[in-house]
Structure 1
């Protein structure tokens, strides 16, 4: 993989699993140590509009490519600029060569 293609720093995050002052689970995310500012190539794949929960929502599907590593899981999300990308499937080890991972993500913009 050419390093010039990896031109965008991304951060992987996991749910913190905390609780608010009333004991309700929070939706807080925290950066995963060692997975901050990972160089990636972020490329849009598709965009679509759909009607959900009584309003129109726009969803973009993106492919995030990084150098191969074995510690990325689908329960993480990717912070990219001011966007938060939900990982929608297992990372793909391209050609099973342990050189690069392709991660399919979605971003909802309401």
Structure 2
């Protein structure tokens, strides 16, 4: 009674390229964050934060970091970890 219930809501539905990080990338990312396992590329979308998550084909990914290549606002690279 009176407990707050939190639910995930959809922020946006966008095209995405989901790929496991390569061996070389994994070695590089491991120095920064050992949990990065997947790189997700989406078109640039203002408001995307690391507090969000990605749902792709019934797979859930936590966003560890967000990269805006060359700060051109064309695409975003989401460095993620699959969670469930």
TM-score (norm 1): 0.56
5+ residue gaps, structure 2, are: 23-34
Larger strand share, 1 or 2: 1
Residue 77 of structure 2 corresponds to residue 102 of structure 1: yes
5+ residue gaps, structure 1, are: 1-21, 47-58
Report if aligned partners of 2:36, 2:79 keep a CA contact under 8 Å in 1: no
The structure whose Rg is larger is 1
Check 1:99–1:92 CA distance in 2 against 1; reply closer, same or farther (3 A cut): same
Root mean square deviation, CA, Å: 2.0
Larger helix share, 1 or 2: 2
Give the Å deviation of 1:97. Answer: 1.8
